[in-house]
Structures are given as C-alpha cells and as structure tokens.
Amino acid sequence: MNDYCNIRRLTFEEVELLLDWARKEGWNPGLADATAFYNADPAGFIGCFSDDRLVAGISAVRYTGNFGFIGLYICLENYRGRGFGKRVWDAGMHLLTGRIVGLDGVPEQQENYARKGFVEAYKTIRWSGRIDLLRPSTEACSSISPQMVREIVAYDAQKFPCGREAFLGAWLQPPRQAIAVEHDGAITGYAVVRRCHHGCKIGPLFADSLEDAEWLLNACVNLAPNETLHVDVPEMQTAFSRILEGHGMAPSFATARMYKNGKPRLDTNGVFALTTLELG
C-alpha cells in the first residue's frame, strides 16, 4: 500500500483504453461503447495512475436523481495486490456518496461486495447462441427515429431506476440498431442491438408483455442474421428464458445485480434484458 499513485478523472481516450482492458478480460464490450458510456457521465470514469501510467480504472456513473452505478472495475494484472484497485474503488464510491449504488457482480466477487454493504436483488443469466431468422416482425416493430427518442426516454424511465436521457441520446444512435414496438400509437417496448468483439448483444430489451418481448427478440435476430447473440436476462423472466432455450440458446454465466444504500423502486416485470453489465 506504499506505492504512490495519482487518482483523476479519465479522458475519453482513456475510457476507450479501459474498455480495451475489458475486452482483454473477456468481457466482450461493444465496438462503439465508449461514446455512449462517456455521454452518461463524462466525470464518472476514474483512473489510478502510477508513474503516469493508467494501472486501474472504474466507472462510477451518476444518473439523474439519487442513483449511481459501478462498473468497469479493472486493475492491470501486474499491479494487483498493491492497493491500486482499492484506491480507485474508494474514489468511485466517494463520487457516488449519498446515492443508491448498483453493480453487477461476478460470482467470485459477490462475497467481497457483500462485505462492502451491497445486497443481492436478483441473479442475471447470460444466454448466448445463434438463432435462425424468425418470422417477420414488421407488423409491430419499427426502427426508432429521432422523433421517437423523447418517448423512448420516458418509457425507459419506467423500467430503469431513473431517467437516463444523456446516455440514451447516444445509445439509440448508430452503429447500434434500436427498435420499438407500438400498439395504437403507444410504445410498449424497445430493444437495442450492438455489435461486440464477439457476436452481438441485445440490451436493453424492455417490454410491457411477453408477447411484445418476443416480437422485439424476433426483430433483433433479423437485424443480426447469423450472429452469435448474447442476452443478459433477469432470473425471474423464466418464460422469456424458455423462449431463448427453445431457439437453441444456452446460459453461459451468471452475475448478481446488487445494491447499496437501499434498493430502487421499480417494476422489473418489464425488464427482459439488461442494458449492459457496466452501466446498468
């Protein structure tokens, strides 16, 4: 713990570097995540520097209201065990002082997070696999146009712990593909497909009903033909998980959504897939 280090906010280019570390760790981020992540909270990415070299990093994104999210917590392998990770963790948590804080913990870290005061809310299962092209979904689904963004932001706030207009302003843009399902002129669900280093991820997938969730899944498959898809599904979505299993997808690993300083009040029934494990 005697190694000197400097803690400071990361630049956009350093956030890109942190995401490349995530790629090397096997976390398979999206090819163009940095812009949307940075847009969520430009001051929410913190690094620990030793001899001017970034050796540990974390995201501590402050959303509107009293909610924040911890992710991208990585220390370079050769610098582990020397306190650099703890220092950047402490800096991130300090930034989120007074907020409900969420994170998605891998199994080997869940006990550690519990000791830090985080309480598990539910497990999330990542389903992965290839799905053959499904029936056309043009009857219900359409691409999200710029004119629809305000409605999507309002809809998203019903399924996420708070509003996240700044993040979605970038997340709904290319190269990601964003689609919505509407009934009688009202949005009843939306989903985003993004290309990753390996395959594509679907997230979020929010919908008012299982039927709408399946429509969105179909549309996402048709937007990424012949690609391996990855979907992070809350454990309580058993019917949706059975649909994925029926299409040949299989669970690959599990994380736990954990919160500190309380639990957000939201209805998780419409959350069929998380947005990302890094930003919630």
What is the distance, to the nearest Å, from the Cα of residue 19 to the centroid of all Cα atoms in its chain? 13
Is the pLDDT score of 173 beyond 90?
A: yes
Count CB atoms within 10 A of the CB of residue 125.
18
CB burial of residue 165 (10 Å; 0-12, 13-18, 19+): middle
Question: Residue 125's beta-bridge partner residues?
Answer: 233, 254
Is the pLDDT score of 160 beyond 50?
A: yes
Question: Residue 201's beta-bridge partner residues?
Answer: 194, 230
Is the pLDDT score of 258 beyond 50?
A: yes
Is the pLDDT score of 137 beyond 50?
A: yes
Q: And the tokens for 169? A: 């302003």
Q: Determine the Cα–Cα distance for residues 279 and 228; give it in Å rounded to an integer.
A: 22
Is the pLDDT score of 110 beyond 80?
A: yes
The residue-averaged pLDDT of 100-110 equals 95
Looking at per-residue confidence, does 153 or 133 come out higher? 153
C-alpha closest to that of 31 among 203, 230, 196, 171: 196
Give the model's pLDDT for residue 132: 81
Tell me which amino acid residue 214 is.
E
